Amino acid sequence: MNIAHYVERGHRLLPNKIALIFEEKSFTYKQLDELAGRVANGLKGLGIKKGDRVALFLPNIPEFVISYLGILKIGAVAVSINVMLKTAEVSYILNDCAAKVIITTESQSEQISEADLPELEHIFIAEGKANKGTTLAQLIANASPESPALDMERHAPACILYTSGTTGFPKGATLSHGNIISNVYAANRCYRITNSDHLLLYLPLFHCFGQNAILNSGLSACATIILYRRFEIEKVLQGISDHRITMFFGVPTVFIKLLNIDTSNYNLESVRYYFSAAAPMPVEIAQKWHEKYGFFIHEGYGLTETSPFATYNNDLKYKLGSIGTPIDNVEIKIVDSDGHPVQLGELGEIVIQGPNVMLGYWNRPFETLEVIKNSWFHTGDIGRIDEDGFFYIVDRLKDMINLSGFKVYPTEVENIIYQHPAVAEVAVYGIADTIKGEIVKAEVVLKATHTITEEQIVEFCHERMAVYKVPRTIKFVDSLPKNSTGKILKRVLREKELAVTSR
């Protein structure tokens, strides 16, 4: 097996079908496969072989897709690096995985310090001038387009995606060909992608959501993928109409933004399917979306370590607020702190077992053993299961607030605050308190033209939740810190709070 077999099948069966559209460029399945073949042969010419690591430090451009597929064709391991990282962070990752090659852009190459990278042999520039290394175009100029993908073992590593590093140094989640292919199969069973679908892809390709749940799933169905560098709301909305997008993938903050603007000037009628993942979807947002557009936002749950797909909510029976049921061949249960299953409806940690669970963290056996116990991956997420087998995510274990012994889950409080018509976005987290241990704080972004006081929000909360859950402090802000996929970074909020209180 090999993930790159998908593009080869498209080349063989539908050679003239458009596989990828980016700005003014388009690539058929034949062209995409042949360009990937050139990259594969160019890398082989450098002595890169099966198992060697090749890093991709690239934004959403076609060269990411072409290089990624070329790396996989020869059995090398594609290492994805977040384009927002700086020199020290990039050096750490490249040294951690001992990458021999990095493919990047002129602007990103400024973050590559060659003196600190003893294992790195080659730098290739895919966009812009080659102030360092040489151009990707030169690598592939005289390379043959024919390079059939190697047949790889199910457990052979295919990709390393580094976690966000919310605690300590980032860890490289190592996914095998079997991990990703099984996940793509399950995703397509849920999405029901066909070769007539047009998939919108603005989520970063260096992230597991964009790379596996959209790109690889789309290629496996011989669909057309419309690629954007990033999420720019006007461009994306216009692109839906221009390219007759049928499948829209996003994160909750994107759906919130779309709900808070007037979209009547754009034609969204081609979209038949909406999907959200990477963070819990507030129930109020899902309800408003259905009321406004008549579509459910199907929700998936998973982590980089699970390739990422683990649950899906769900065509057979859609349940508002649920992350759904396990995907094919995956088992999930809720356990207590000792690893024992809890009673139906009780809260506990979500643990996952199946072909989607990573091989482990690259070169980190002890950290791997901390999260994979008896073949069950411990997610660090708190959830529950109902009588129909549907799962609900409550919060991250580390985000739980302990207030005088009472457990407060921020997502639960956020879902209430989102019901207020003046609120655009909200983040709830715990701050230290000498008496209670922690108290609840909320940072709120208001909708344009709306005004409200802290007292009004507190009163709104008092009417709808237990008194101990009501935020003691409310701060109005213009924006909330987010990562590359749009997920709100509560870690950053807590760090800012700690910096202020420790002065």
- The token pair at 189 is 């069973």
How many helices and strands in the chain, by DSSP H and E? 15, 27
Q: What is the mean pLDDT of residues 105-110?
A: 96
When the pLDDT of each residue in the chain is averaged and rounded to a whole number, the result is 93
Amino acid (one-letter) located at 335: V
What's the Cα-to-Cα distance from 89 to each of 113, 116, 480, rounded to whole Å?
11, 11, 23
pLDDT tens for 55-79 read 999 999 999 999 999 999 999 999 9
**Where are the CATH 3.40.50.12780 domain residues in the chain?**
187-396
Q: What is the model's pLDDT at position 205?
A: 97
Give the percent of the chain with pLDDT over 70. Answer: 98
Query: Distance (Å, rounded) from C-alpha 94 to C-alpha 101?
Result: 9
Does the pLDDT of residue 271 top 50, yes or no?
yes
Q: Transcribe 392-406 into DSSP letters.
A: EEEEEGGG-EEETTE
Query: Distance (Å, rounded) from C-alpha 242 to C-alpha 304?
Result: 32
* pLDDT tier at 409, thresholds 50, 70, 90: confident
* pLDDT tier at 501, thresholds 50, 70, 90: low
**Contact predicate 354/330, CB 8 Å:** yes
pLDDT tens for 432-478 read 887 777 899 999 999 988 999 999 999 999 888 878 899 999 999 99
Q: What is the model's pLDDT at position 503?
A: 62
Q: How far apart are the first and last CA of the chain?
A: 56
Q: What is the model's pLDDT at position 396?
A: 77
Q: What is the mean pLDDT of residues 361-378?
A: 95
**Contact predicate 124/102, CB 8 Å:** yes
Q: Is the dihedral of CA 305, 285, 406, 336 positive or negative?
A: negative
Residue 227 phi/psi, 5-degree rounding, is -100, 135
**Contact predicate 376/350, CB 8 Å:** no
Question: What angle do helix axes 454-462 and 410-417 make, rounded to 10 degrees?
Answer: 110
- The token pair at 474 is 């409310």
* pLDDT tier at 483, thresholds 50, 70, 90: confident
Task: List, as own/partner pairs, every contact residues 272-276 make where C-beta atoms lie below 8 angstroms and the sequence separation is at least 24, other chains included.
Answer: 272/246, 272/247, 273/191, 273/192, 273/246, 273/247, 273/248, 273/298, 274/248, 274/250, 274/298, 275/191, 275/247, 275/248, 275/249, 275/250, 275/299, 275/300, 276/249, 276/250, 276/251, 276/252, 276/300
pLDDT tens for 197-220 read 999 999 999 999 999 999 999 999
Q: What is the mean pLDDT of residues 268-292?
A: 92
What's the half-sphere exposure (Cβ side, CA atoms, 13 Å) at 380? 12
Query: What's the pTM value of the predicted model, to 2 decimals?
Result: 0.86
Q: What is the model's pLDDT at position 499?
A: 77
Residue 390 phi/psi, 5-degree rounding, is -90, 140
- The token pair at 471 is 């935020």
**Where are the CATH 3.40.50.980 domain residues in the chain?**
5-152
The CATH number of the domain covering residues in 187-396:
3.40.50.12780
Give the percent of the chain with pLDDT over 90. Answer: 81
Secondary element (H or E) of residue 162: strand 157-162
Measuring CA to CA, which residue among 383, 495, 378 is closest to residue 429?
495
308 versus 495: the higher-pLDDT residue is 308
Does the pLDDT of residue 168 top 70, yes or no?
no
**Contact predicate 105/117, CB 8 Å:** no
> Is 400-501 assigned to CATH 3.30.300.30?
yes
Q: Is the dihedral of CA 53, 54, 56, 57 positive or negative?
A: positive
Secondary element (H or E) of residue 445: strand 437-446
**Contact predicate 324/383, CB 8 Å:** no
Does the pLDDT of residue 167 top 50, yes or no?
no
* pLDDT tier at 302, thresholds 50, 70, 90: very high
**Where are the CATH 3.30.300.30 domain residues in the chain?**
400-501
Q: What is the model's pLDDT at position 114?
A: 92
- The token pair at 148 is 């059939």
pLDDT tens for 175-185 read 999 999 999 99
| Residue 440 DSSP class | E
Q: What is the mean pLDDT of residues 8-24?
A: 98
pLDDT tens for 217-266 read 999 999 999 999 999 999 999 999 999 999 999 988 899 899 989 999 99
Measuring CA to CA, which residue among 300, 353, 350, 306 is closest to residue 329?
353
The CATH number fitting domain 5-152, selected from 3.40.50.980, 3.40.1190.20, 1.20.990.10, 3.90.226.10: 3.40.50.980
Q: What is the mean pLDDT of residues 347-353?
A: 96
Query: Distance (Å, rounded) from C-alpha 320 to C-alpha 313?
Result: 9
pLDDT tens for 144-155 read 999 999 999 999
Amino acid (one-letter) located at 328: D
Does the pLDDT of residue 166 top 60, yes or no?
no
Q: What is the model's pLDDT at position 412?
A: 82
